[in-house]
Amino acid sequence: MLTKSRWKKNIVSFSTLALLMASCLGGGGGSGGSENSRERIRFINGDPNSKSLVFELVYAPPASNSSGSNSTTTNTTSSNTESDLLNAEVLFSESSPFLDAPEGNLKIRVREPKSILPAIDSALKINSNEIYTVSVTRENDDLVITTNKESFDLRPPQSSNVNLRAINLSEDNPSIDIYLLDTSFKDQISTAIKDATPAVSALAFKAFGSYVAFKPTDLILVSTLAGSKTKILSKKQLSFGSVDRFSTVFFSLPKGVNSSESIITDTYQDSE
């Protein structure tokens, strides 16, 4: 469970990593579309059986030209052969930052770090100026990929509100309710939620919830089984000191006993 101080450090590290990746991928006159294009992609590892997963975004043109060898770059490529465009290793319960991605028909591959063969090899079409979150979960013994087309502008919100949503990647909890409580209820959570209305109701497995807006503040985030006021799955005090967009992501624990959460930022920081 994250403490206040560790949560703040995580937000800083994600923002810093996003800036570094933006400078590597977005600068220097690469061949990845116009300067104003905003195609972005990020990856979330929701597989409790994998300490880390490697996500590969692959350019795979029609098999009309079989010459040349595979190449690995950090941006788009003009090669007519299949080649890696992005390669990101993501730890369990964590997310990559949003990365620049090329428009077009591509493939996404997911594999264990020590494996050559991918566990997932799936087609992915990236449209102009669109933003995607790709998550991987485990259902029974199989890895399953879910692609969510985001509807938000990745720049920080223009209002003075924090925007928070929930993502349910916990197979153990196929439907959850989420409450946002004032910190004055930290010792009376069970009592507080009896008459409270969930901020998010019945969030299904693999679903991305809508954003809830509120002024920057400290609060307690409580999750329960959907429809239950007594089956508390988790509770966590969070500090939102800045205006931004965030997701709280719920994961299955490796032993399937409960759910854990991580907070990830939903804002892309331009390097310019």
Q: What is the CATH number of the domain that holds 223?
A: 2.60.40.1120
State residue 126's pLDDT score.
92
Using 50 as the pLDDT threshold, list the residues of the chain that sit under it: 1-35, 65-80, 256-257, 271-272
State residue 32's pLDDT score.
39
Question: 248's torsion region: left (phi>0), alpha (psi -120 to 50) or beta?
Answer: beta
State residue 82's pLDDT score.
60
The pTM score is 0.76
Q: Is residue 44 situated within a structural domain?
A: yes
> Order of strands across the sheet with 212-214?
212-214, 162-169, 245-252, 259-265
Contact between residue 103 and residue 12 where contact means Cβ atoms under 8 Å apart? no
Residue ranges of alpha helices (H) inside the chain are 4-26, 189-194
State residue 62's pLDDT score.
60
User: Which one, of 65, 67, 47, lies nearest residue 55 by Cα?
Assistant: 47
Q: Domain containing 79: what range?
A: 39-150
State residue 77's pLDDT score.
38
For 3, residues 6+ apart whose C-beta sits below 8 A from its C-beta are: none
Cα distance between residue 222 and residue 230, in whole Å: 11
State residue 259's pLDDT score.
57
State residue 27's pLDDT score.
34
Is the domain of 142 the same as that of 218? no
Q: pLDDT digits over 27-82, tens only?
A: 333 333 444 567 899 999 999 999 999 999 998 766 554 444 333 333 333 444 56
Cα distance between residue 148 and residue 143, in whole Å: 16
Q: Is residue 7 situated within a structural domain?
A: no
Q: Is residue 192 situated within a structural domain?
A: yes
